[in-house]
Structure 1
Amino acid sequence: MAKIASKSFWYKYQERYQAIKSVLCVGLDSDFSQLPEGVKNSENPIWEFNKTIIEATLDYACAYKPNLAFYLADGIRGLDALYKTVEFIPDNLPVILDCKIGDIGNTMNAYLSAFFAELKVDAITLNPLMGSDVMQPVQDRNAFAFVLCLTSNPSAADFLQEGMAEKIANWLQDYPKENFGAVIGATQRANIKTMRNLLTGRILLIPGIGAQGGDLKTVLQEAKDSSETPNILVNSSRSIIFASKGKDFATAAREEARKLTQEMKNALNRGSN
């Protein structure tokens, strides 16, 4: 049975957080070259790997985020894996497609139809460079997008740390928080508090924890909206899904997700005292 998006991303996030008090987003950056040898000979290796990872981490995940590039890289088989993955994730867990699109007119509408109507994800990542023409189709569809605002990669300094991030954050104030969140990299320690103050009430998607070296305590202390409603999703990809490349990869992924979730809970609780 095809997955039907019965509730908005905004609603699903709030409901899931209140149910399990986790802000963990498991990034399904399922690079074929990095998969455990035990699954590489499967009929559809990425799908078999994802299915096992999802089953292992389900108790701790507030959301899942497949990265489109790794599925495209495996051709038709990879796209099949993506569709099966999204369908397999329980409907009460929001799914973010990390695609970083940003186009206008019929092209943008075609992207949105592909991702929301056909693939049935709950949110996407969006590049706002082309302006309001990128944003309006998302709002018209009553969909949800995380707008690239201050990313975690080192060369974000080329543009986004030169006033552009603040400009994007201020510009976002004209758009509903129920339709637009923001991507703020965990590696941007000096700017996280400023960005949260400009983005009050919005859900922040925060990559850069784990393999990229972001400081978890700083993120949780400075990026949360409040102790009751943090409005953040801390994404961890490689450090969870590739915690082991042996036969124990599922057990290792579950343990890594458990440890990270508990660490985040402890930090949030300390911050509320």
Structure 2
Amino acid sequence: MNNLQKNGYAKYDLMTSLDYEGIEADYKEILDYFEDLPIDDYAPEANRYRRYSRALVLPTSGTIEWLPTMQRDGEEFSAYFQGKFNPEHAGSYREFHSIGPSIQNNRLLQEIIMANYRETFWKEEDQIMPIHVGVHFVKLMVESDEDRAVSSPDCLHQDGEPFTFAHLVERSNVEGGTNAIGIPEVRGRQPEEADEGDLHEIFEITKPLESYGVYDSKVSHYVSPVEKGEDDTPGVRSVILIDYQLTVVADMDE
């Protein structure tokens, strides 16, 4: 039993554990890609930028297959549905600009996806079907002292997918971006509104590929808004979020 299964969350240092020849160049390619993420069309005032794509992990072969995208005005989009779990977009589909093929094929991104997958756990009968993977590239960026960049949802929450992992790509000249892990019952609250005993840990990820994962049914989680630090450069906090869920088989009795 790993820490994710035992505690409901776990922390990682993937730059160390995934170390291979060429990892720095692969990381730099991902870091550069984050510079031009498009604005989140669903919250243009939140100083949030993002791309999203979907893939399958095939358990028998341990390979990754990226799913097709949709065409909108000559651009590629991928759909995301979080059901009731995001109070800001409950019950609605959102379409995000897709992650480009060159980054989908980046070795480091694929290594991260598979490292996360190996941390997950499923019933034996579930592993005969592909595991669905959602990959979010999310950047919070503030350019003035008055700006705030906010994650969605801005409260302790659960995602609805069984497992979600967050990997830091860049943290530069920011205040905030603090993570909190709590019991499921405090979802919908701010960390300061929860009793101290209902929060497992409050921490920050600060180094490239410093990461954490959550087992959704066992915990709630949160990241605080980002504000600009003391330097004259923009404040940036960029992360890769990766979620994992089962292939759902239709109930023929419905």
Same fold (TM over 0.5): no
TM class by smaller structure = under 0.3
Higher helix share: 1
Higher strand share: 2
TM-score, normalised on structure 2? Answer: 0.26
